[in-house]
Amino acid sequence: MKQTARVAILGATGAVGTELLELLESRDFPIESLKLLASERSAGKTLPFKGESLSIEAVNENSFRDIDIVLASAGGSTSKAWAKTIVESGATLIDNSSAFRMNPDVPLVVPEVNPESVAKHRGIIANPNCTTILLGVAIWPLHQVRPIERAIVSTYQSASGAGARAMEELKEQARAILENRQPPTNSFPYPLAFNLFPHNTPINDLGYCEEEMKMVNETRKIFGVPEFRLSATCVRVPVDRAHSESVNLEFSSPFPVEKAREILSSAPGVKLVEDWKANYFPMPIDATGRDEVLVGRIRQDISNPNALELWLCGDQIRKGAALNAVQIAELLVEKNLVRVLG
């Protein structure tokens, strides 16, 4: 008999939370029961699920009793506040925040890359950063054939990475600018509409921002290569949803473009998108709402015979967050690793 799980979504009303709900339904996740949790201000509201309206409950100390899996996307402070309660209740926390990603006792998992890591969990599994997930899905298949010696990545990150309010603010900014009004800047430090700026997370002494270091450190942990050489430049761009990345990969010897194309065309979680005659390659508008990471424009780096370049786009809310978390939950059920109270 197929194992079922009692699931709770913590942060059910956010952009990722509502996507989690949709994915649990569309993927027919084996749910025994489902609980939607959020803050006091959202309590009593309802969300649709399989033809029913589920009420949202305010999270409290008793919320995780008789729950097997908690899918959390309510921010790092909320995850930290409830992690102990969740684990002590016997549930497994799959956390979408950065709170536990670099904890050596917490697996950091991309199912297409390191699914075996879920077996090492002690009650908490971390979902990586969105840009890290998209990058990992795209380059891991190549790394398996010939280890990558160095990666240079530039990201083009959409408003969705800052949440539902930021997505709405981008639209409000565009309207304001077109109407010659001052654009609001509540979610962003500067106007994003008709503009772009380097990611505004704190910058370290080396000149790298927090978002860039997440890509470096998380990729090293997921790949199991502590010295993996990666440098990233993260940029926020005026796109509603779906991130893009320009990637340069250096190997120890030439990696034939056709071989790379062949590998990626059949890689799990990847869809090759290339029409060279039409100059048509992955775009955020095409990646939005899709599960796959769209990869294309694979080419030889003319400055380095041992390097390849590629371009990718992926839905930040979907594969970059909610889908990856649901896939982790599916692994737990499949491998009978759900921590259920006896």
Position 306 scores a pLDDT of: 98
- Tell whether the model's pLDDT for residue 341 goes beyond 60: no
Interval 89-105 mean pLDDT = 96
- For the record, the structure tokens of 64 come out as 């995780």
CA–CA separation, 102 and 128 (whole Å): 10
Position 179 scores a pLDDT of: 98
Position 339 scores a pLDDT of: 61
CA–CA separation, 283 and 336 (whole Å): 38
CA–CA separation, 141 and 16 (whole Å): 27
- Per-residue model confidence as pLDDT tens digits over 238-288: 999 999 999 999 999 999 999 999 999 999 999 999 999 999 999 999 999
Residue carrying the six token digits 């010696």:
149
Q: Which of 86, 3, 20, 7 is nearest to 326 (CA)?
A: 20
DSSP annotation string for 148-202: -SEEEEEEEE-GGGG-HHHHHHHHHHHHHHHTT-PPP-SSSSS--TT--EE--SP
Known binding-site positions: 13-16, 41-42, 101, 157, 160-161, 184, 210, 236, 316
Least confidently predicted of 37-46, 63-72, 83-92, 181-190? 37-46
- Per-residue model confidence as pLDDT tens digits over 328-337: 999 999 998 8
pLDDT-derived band at 103 (thresholds 50, 70, 90) equals very high
Size (the chain), residues: 342
pLDDT-derived band at 342 (thresholds 50, 70, 90) equals very low
- Tell whether the model's pLDDT for residue 301 goes beyond 90: yes
- For the record, the structure tokens of 215 come out as 């890509």
Interval 291-315 mean pLDDT = 98
Which residues carry out catalysis?
130, 243
Question: CA dist 327 to 71, 114, 300, 304, 334, Å?
Answer: 11, 12, 33, 37, 10
Rounded to the nearest angstrom, the gap between the alpha carbon of residue 316 and the centroid of all alpha carbons in its chain is 6
Q: Which residues of 48-83 are buried (b: 16+ CB within 10 A; e: fewer)?
A: ebeeeebebbebeeebbeebbbbbbbbbeebbeebb
pLDDT-derived band at 3 (thresholds 50, 70, 90) equals confident
- Per-residue model confidence as pLDDT tens digits over 16-74: 999 999 999 999 999 999 999 999 988 999 999 999 999 999 999 999 999 999 999 99
Beta bridge partners of 55: 46
Q: Which long-range contacts (CB under 8 A, 24 or more apart) does 206-211 make?
A: 208/232, 209/234, 211/129, 211/131, 211/155, 211/157
**pTM for this one?**
0.96
Interval 213-234 mean pLDDT = 98
Longest dimension (CA), the chain: 63
Strands 197-198 and 230-236: antiparallel
Q: Which of 320, 299, 341, 1 is nearest to 161 (CA)?
A: 320
- For the record, the structure tokens of 263 come out as 């590998």
Coil, strand or helix: which one is 294?
Answer: strand
Position 336 scores a pLDDT of: 87
Position 87 scores a pLDDT of: 96
Position 337 scores a pLDDT of: 86
Q: Which of 326, 337, 329 is nearest to 121 (CA)?
A: 337
Position 58 scores a pLDDT of: 95
CA–CA separation, 151 and 166 (whole Å): 30
- Per-residue model confidence as pLDDT tens digits over 155-180: 999 999 998 899 999 999 999 999 99
CB atoms within 10 A of CB 191: 19
Position 285 scores a pLDDT of: 98
Task: Supply angle C-alpha 155, 158, 163, rounded to 5.
Answer: 125
Interval 310-325 mean pLDDT = 97
CA–CA separation, 150 and 40 (whole Å): 47
Position 126 scores a pLDDT of: 98
Position 340 scores a pLDDT of: 43
pLDDT-derived band at 1 (thresholds 50, 70, 90) equals very low
- For the record, the structure tokens of 208 come out as 């790298």
Question: CB-side exposure of 270: number of CA atoms within 13 Å?
Answer: 28
